[in-house]
Every structure is written in C-alpha cells, then in structure tokens.
Amino acid sequence: MAAVTDYHMHLERGPWTLEWLERFVDTARARGLREIGFSEHPHRFRECRAIYPAPLPWVDAQNTERLDSYLRLIEQARAAGLPVKLALEWDYLPGFEAALERALGAHPWDYTIGSVHWLPPAARGGEWWGFDDPARISDWERVDVLEVYRRYFRLIGQAARTGLFDIIGHADVIKVMGYRPKADIADLYEAAASEFAAAGVCVEINTAGWRKPVGEIYPAPPFLRACRLAGVPVLINSDAHVPEDVGRDFDRAAAVAREAGYRETAAFAQRVRTMAPL
C-alpha cells in the first residue's frame, strides 16, 4: 500500500464551495487515501501580504482574497464529516521571518509546509525572481545555473532552520523548468539533508515534478537518498491543483521512497508528527 494521506493540494482554480472541495475528497477516496490536507498559497490572502516584499507585482495582482473564506470552507467540510486538514504552503523569503511567524501564529494549522518559490535580488537594485513562473522561463537563459542552484539550496536550508515549518515543500523545485547544472551537486543535496535533519523537518516526496517540464519527482532520487542517510522523515504529496491529481502516481512515489530505504511516512495533527508504515 502506498501512503494514506495527501497533504499538499490547492483549491485555487475553483470557487470557495463545498462542491469543489468534495471533488478532491472523492478522488482521494477512490485512490484509497484516508486523509487529505489543503495547503493554499498565502500570496492570495490579504492577511498574508506582509510575508512578501512590496511591491511585488505577481503577488499584488493575486492578493485579493480573505483568509476567512478558506478557513470557513475547511470548517464547513469538517462539519460535513470530510477528512480534511488545514494548512498553507508558506513561501519562505529571507528577511520576512518575523512577518511569517506572525501570520503562521494566527491560526491553528494541522501542519506547515515551507517552500521556496522566490530568489532574492542577486545585486542591489535587482528584483525578486519567481523562478518557477512559466512566464519568466527566458530568465533561465541569462543566469549561471549552478550559482542559482547554490543560492536556492542555501535558502531551503535556511527555511528549515527557521523552525517554522513541519514539511519542506518540493525540496529541489529549482529544477522545475528543466535547467540543470552540468556539475555534480551531491554536496548541495548532502548539505540540505543535514540542515533538514538538524531542524527536525520532514521532506515531501512531491509527485507534481512528474507533471512539470523537468519530468522528475521532487526530490530527485539521489537527494532523497541523502535525506534518508541523514535521517529525515518523508511523506508523499501530490501538489494537486485539480481533483484528478489528488493521490496521483502515489504507488510509483512509494516505490521511489522504498528504493531510497524508507519504510515509514509521516502524518500530522495539530502540528504533531506521527509515523506510519509506508
């Protein structure tokens, strides 16, 4: 059996309705999952605006919702007996830790996912780079790919060290567009894995990588092995943005986890972790 949970999914392509949410639950049930968790992007919510620099046009354009709509919907789903957990997929932007801590402390999340989607300006007067934005793929042609990877991997270590996150999201998403350094990056994997272990965070095995230009699961198998050697716990997540992707490719992901030596996955309730057989 693969995992029984899927803790990373987004409702953002639909309305704040129980009908839309139930479609995610229905797919989960059909795929044998017992519990799912929603992890919306905070950039949508006005209450979370302070965790990003200002101005940041990509965020500002989407920062129109109220967190209440989301919280109420999850509450409503629970009242209806649906097995759903409440979370956000927090963006970690260095320098915004205090705002992040405030936003994170405002509600009783079941777990917190910390992801890096933004790289800070490389030089004074530069701008933040949303490196996974398909509209900015041409930026990749102008950068030193290895240097970008180094900066990214430093940031995920830093994110873990804040102690604010239970789970590190798609730990090597820097590869999303398919740009990879020619050099071996085993040292980056090992350094990040030991930061994760020291911080006590979990790493998600995120199947969305198989659906992206890179066509590879996050983390890459050698990175996952480094996590295993360092003693970092894992769980399997889909990062579904549509109901059809809930629990997608979980058997295949479980095989990757076993191949790396994992025999257990993590589950969370009120930010307390428990382990179950994989």
User: Could you give the string, one character per residue 191-230, with x where binding to Zn ion holds by CB under 5 A and - elsewhere?
Assistant: ----------------------------------------
119 in Cβ contact with 170 (< 8 Å): no
Compute the distance between CA of residue 266 and CA of residue 53 in angstroms, rounded to an integer: 33
Stretch that binds Zn ion, among 59-67, 107-115, 118-126, 190-198 (CB under 5 A): 107-115
Question: Residue 193's closest CA among 241, 165, 228?
Answer: 228
Smallest separation, CB 256 to Zn ion (Å): 19
Pick 61 or 79: Cβ nearer Zn ion: 61
Compute the distance between CA of residue 195 and CA of residue 208 in angstroms, rounded to an integer: 24
Among 65, 239, 245, 249, binds Zn ion (CB under 5 A): 239
Instruction: Please state whether beta strands 234-237 and 202-206 pair in parallel, antiparallel, or not at all (unpaired).
Output: parallel
Pick 132 or 195: Cβ nearer Zn ion: 132
Query: Interface residues for Zn ion in 114-143 (CB under 5 A)?
Result: 115
Stretch that binds Zn ion, among 11-19, 28-36, 238-246, 264-272 (CB under 5 A): 238-246
Which structure tokens are listed for 74? 């999850």
Per-residue buried b or exposed e for 90-123, using 16+ beta carbons within 10 Å of the residue's own CB: bbbbeebbeebeebbeeeebbbbbbbbbbbeeee
Among 6, 35, 40, 89, binds Zn ion (CB under 5 A): 89
Our measurement of the distance from residue 58's CA atom to the centroid of its chain's CA atoms, rounded to an integer in Å, reads: 19
Stretch that binds Zn ion, among 64-72, 88-96, 224-232, 247-255 (CB under 5 A): 88-96
Pick 238 or 265: Cβ nearer Zn ion: 238
Q: Residue numbers of the site for Zn ion (CB under 5 A)?
A: 89, 115, 239
